Amino acid sequence: MPPSPIDPARLAALPADLRALFRAQEAMIEAERRRADDECSARLHVESELAASKESVERLELLVKEYERARFGKRSEKFNPDQMQLVLEDIEIAIAEVQERQDDRARRAGTAPSSRRTRRAARAFPAHLPRIEQVIEPENLECPCGCGRMVQIGEDRSRRLPAGHFKFLRVWSVKFLHPRGRTRDC
């Protein structure tokens, strides 16, 4: 605590309630200084993160321009395949760095890292593979209570590649959803 601007002898001569008020004001001023210092350090931290993010964005934009030039540029501007591989490696490294920074920020914030949450969507099967539709229905369509035939209320479609075959096929499984023991009458 910084030395008080008032003489301690004069402070001791004051009544007790004024001394307590003076000490309370000193404590409030010191708390306000600490809060201002904390805000300043937080602001500097955010500004440094912003500068790092801007730098990584500029680097990624440069890599994208190089990639576009390599892929779509005039023949004289195009890279040879070895240089193209280097450009792609640079892009992969830059993406990994950005993801690592995001994961570090998430860990500091106490949340789960985003790179582990996101999953890629399944790719579509190639169109040249033959398609087989496999319908799976219940063995008995009669209602267990005997009031009639059960009705289809929906279907569940899924696609898969059969395991253990040397021939690739697209198999679409269609499963009809029936309520258990329900018909329109019951």
Cβ 145 vs Cβ 181: under 8 Å: yes
pLDDT at residue number 32: 97
pLDDT digits (tens, 9 = 90+) for 157-185: 776 666 655 555 555 555 555 544 455 66
Query: Is residue 102 located within the same domain as residue 48?
Result: yes
Long-range contacts of residues 167-170, Cβ cutoff 8 Å, at least 24 apart = 168/129, 169/129, 169/130, 169/131, 169/132, 170/125, 170/129, 170/130, 170/131, 170/132
Please state, in angstroms and rounded to a whole number, the distance separating the CA atoms of residues 40 and 36.
Answer: 6
Query: Is residue 43 located within the same domain as residue 102?
Result: yes
Domain that includes residue 153, residue range: 131-177
pLDDT at residue number 72: 76
Please state, in angstroms and rounded to a whole number, the distance separating the CA atoms of residues 3 and 18.
Answer: 18
Cβ 106 vs Cβ 113: under 8 Å: yes
3 CA to centre of own chain: 51
Query: Where residue 94 falls among pLDDT bands split at 50, 70, 90?
Result: confident
Query: Where residue 42 falls among pLDDT bands split at 50, 70, 90?
Result: very high
Query: Is residue 17 located within the same domain as residue 104?
Result: yes
pLDDT, average across residues 109-115: 69
Number of domains in the chain: 2
Query: Is residue 95 located within the same domain as residue 135?
Result: no
pLDDT, average across residues 5-15: 79
More confident residue, 123 or 140: 140
